[in-house]
Structure 1
Amino acid sequence: MKSAIFLKTFRTRHLFLSQLLLILFVMFESLTAQTNTIRVKSEPGILNSSIENAIQRADSGDTVLLEPGVYAIHDLQISKSITLQGQEGSILDIEERGYGLILKGTNITLKNFEIRNSGSGFMEDFAAILIENSRDIHVEDLTLTNNFFGIFIAKSERILVSNNNIFSNAKRQTTSGNGIHLWYSKNVEAHNNTITGHRDGIYLEFVEESKMSGNNVFSNIRYGLHFMYSNSCSYIGNTFEDNTSGVAVMYTKNVEMLHNHFINNWGANRYGLLLKEINDSVVKYNLFESNSVGIYSEASNRVLIEQNEFRNNGTALRMMANGLDNRIEQNNFISNVFEVTTNSRQNPNHYEGNYWSQYEGYDLNGDGIGDVEYRPVRLFSLLAEKEPLSLIMLRSIMAGVLDTAERVFPVLTPKNLVDPKPLMQPNQ
């Protein structure tokens, strides 16, 4: 009996010691594993040569370090799990021959160099960087100059694009690409990038569970942000300024747009934010300033538009009546020409607790809420919709009389489009 117990104890201890030794061996191997840095010098006039040779010599985890200089490249493929890193003055010049870097792999990092002068064309989406069928890719601290597409991401996941400057000089939509283009991808994050001079600053199509934050997107010739069929994505703390058509969000559900600035999108058919067939989404804590239209919403349902500031827009909110159950609450409407416009006398949406700078009601009990409900749709906005030249009468006494009469006895404007609890002071 005692020998059996002894034998069992011995086997248990032996197994424990074996497992412990195995763990210590693995830890030792990981601590002693070394990664190499392979330094590369430019070879003027020799296409791909020095970088391509360094990549071929590199093992998984190694860093290929570019010395300052100009490297002629095109269609340079990276499939190994390496870091390609530059220094100040490290420039990859595609010389308008096609793509720059083509990434097809996992755990690849690009960092701290410039790529310029991609090819362009109607049949190929040439890009400074093409990421395809890849995952766990980091693109950081790059400058992308004068490229057709800046970064083109397709059928990939877990991609980080951060702190890049993406500049181009697009003149026409048909001959230009997008700054960051995402297609059929998942878990992509784009943070703190500056993007200008492209067709669309950021473009998403069939993208899921991705996040764009802290980007400065300005002076692109179509949209600052343009995305379609891309569910469960977030857009937080970005600035979209002076893009020809503003920002467009289409055919999508479960979108969060928080703390963004939509500024100076002014002119015919320009919007701060266009919502088309958007469902179950949130637009909150944003600034809409100096746009022809702050938000244009069409066929969108169950969207919460809350605690935004609409300031100095032509029309702050244009809400088409084919959208249902949207809630417009606790926003500030300040110094807009028209606060709300619509295309029907029916109102399937809910307005409550907003501050309207054109409100002339009173608050006798001092609770901060107006004692008289507010009708934000002006009769003159309907006239201007049908006869744009009538805007020359906007500041006339007659326009004011018509608006006042319509608010007291609504005949043409939506009778039930009212804010029953207008705020007396802006919402903080």
Structure 2
Amino acid sequence: MGKIKNTTLRILITFVSLIFSTTTLSARTIEVGEGKAFSTITEAISVAKPHDVVCIYGKKIYKERLTINKPITLKGVETPIIDGGQKGDVIKVNADNVVIEGLQVQNSARSSEVDYCGVHVKDAHSVVVRNCIFRKNQFSVMYQNCKNGLVANNNISSDITYNPIMGNAVHCWKSDNMHITGNKIGHNRDGIYLEFVNNSHIAHNSVSGCARYGLHFMFSHFNVYNGNHFFHNQAGVAVMFAHHVEMINNTFEFNRGTSSYGLLIKELQYSTIKWNRFLNNTVGLLIDGGSDLNVHHNTIKNNGWGMRLISASTNDTIYHNNFLGNTFDMTTNVSYNRNTVDGNYWDKYEGYDLNKDGYGDVPFHPLSLFSMLAEQNENVLFFFFYKNQTQ
């Protein structure tokens, strides 16, 4: 009989323990704002337990700098403003599993020696920044040494024009499995900057008005970039020192200037560039040091130079692309290279197709003598423009 009572008591204790354990693990909502439990976000974060939601109400300006060192959600209702007063990072995240959403984050510090941020995530995984507005920050969102981060559906731009302190909109360094998607990015130095970032997906972003590159990545491998729109950026998009990259269904347009490109490739290997649109750029696509690239089913239209293929590029396959309305469809700086150019459509082709198989019977040579001279010495372009103006 005693054994039965002891067993019953143990079961009761276990049941009560489970109840308290469940209560402890359940997330609470901690409210900040006029008439709410807390008047400052800092106070609310200090009492929050892991997995709690700190909910900030009202379109109010909170002049606070925040540090998040526990897994919580920081959520704004009616887009409250967190203003750092130009005194450092506005929000620092030093914990895993943090969510920041629905806020306007502005006025980080500005320095030519320190990279200050609107949101600065360091040494953390699974941190989400979504549905936020970023204004007047040096760097808007920065991830350093992170994994499984998500930057989604944010509106990002900066008013900084002084080059030594101008930062990037989304900046990732030494991170893996990042997802940057659906963001609208305006004026910054670079729109999206990635360095030592692998196995990541950058999709459906709109990037314009950047003082340098809309997208700039180096030493970043096994990444996919699809459905992005890069336009009216000072230098276009730059891909450098990478391998196993897929660039699919992106649009590069209206990137114009003496050093502007729709897409600049420098030392890229084993990668695919397909179904993209290169429109109205000074240079649609420049490949310098591309090796074992598949470039196919792209539309290259109304550019000054459609494609520039520099001598260091080898074993590239360029096929089934449409070249339309470019001043020069293709140029190179050597008389021979080890690349395959086949099955493309050239609107300047004047040959014939007697067997009606859709392919010209006479090979087309896109490299004109004048384009070769221009590749060696750009000053000869004066004669090209003079000739067109006098016709």
TM-score by length of 2: 0.91
Counterpart of 2:239 in structure 1 is 249
Residue identity in the other structure for 2:337: N
Deviation at 1:99, TM superposition (A): 0.6
Residue identity in the other structure for 2:383: S
Counterpart of 1:12 in structure 2 is none
**Separation (CA, whole Å) in 2 of partners of 1:124 and 1:389:** 45
Counterpart of 1:391 in structure 2 is 384
* Preserved CA contact (<8 Å) 1:85 1:110: yes
Counterpart of 1:365 in structure 2 is 355
In structure 2, relative to structure 1, the CA distance for the partners of 1:317 and 1:27 (3 Å cut) is farther
Please state if 1:287 is matched with 2:305: no
**Which of 48, 64, 78 lines up with 1:73 in the alignment?**
64
**Separation (CA, whole Å) in 2 of partners of 1:111 and 1:239:** 24
Unaligned runs of 5+ in 2: 1-13
Counting matched residue pairs gives: 372
**Separation (CA, whole Å) in 1 of partners of 2:96 and 2:196:** 21
Q: Deviations over 1:26-74 (max 9, x none)?
A: 799659953210001279xxxx982111111111111000011110112
Residue identity in the other structure for 1:373: P
Residue identity in the other structure for 2:351: G
TM-score by length of 1: 0.83
Secondary structure at the counterpart of residue 300 of structure 1: coil
Please state if 1:219 is matched with 2:177: no
**Which of 68, 73, 89 lines up with 1:83 in the alignment?**
73
Q: Residues 189-200 of structure 1 correspond to what in structure 2 (within 5 A)?
A: 189-200=179-190
Residue identity in the other structure for 1:104: N
Counterpart of 2:4 in structure 1 is none
* Preserved CA contact (<8 Å) 1:236 1:257: yes
In structure 2, relative to structure 1, the CA distance for the partners of 1:232 and 1:26 (3 Å cut) is farther
In structure 2, relative to structure 1, the CA distance for the partners of 1:185 and 1:340 (3 Å cut) is same
**Separation (CA, whole Å) in 2 of partners of 1:250 and 1:26:** 54
Q: Deviations over 1:377-396 (max 9, x none)?
A: 11111233422312224549
Unaligned runs of 5+ in 1: 1-21, 399-428
Counterpart of 2:8 in structure 1 is none
Counterpart of 1:230 in structure 2 is 220
* Preserved CA contact (<8 Å) 1:383 1:390: no
**Separation (CA, whole Å) in 1 of partners of 2:162 and 2:371:** 33
> Which one has the largest radius of gyration?
1
Displaced runs of 4 or more, over 6 A:
25-29
Residue identity in the other structure for 2:88: G
Of 164-173 and 217-226, the range deviating more from structure 2:
164-173
Counterpart of 1:142 in structure 2 is 132
Residue identity in the other structure for 1:191: T
**Which of 372, 385, 389 lines up with 1:382 in the alignment?**
372
Residue identity in the other structure for 2:172: L
Q: Percent identity?
A: 36
Q: Residues 193-208 of structure 1 correspond to what in structure 2 (within 5 A)?
A: 193-208=183-198
Counterpart of 2:7 in structure 1 is none
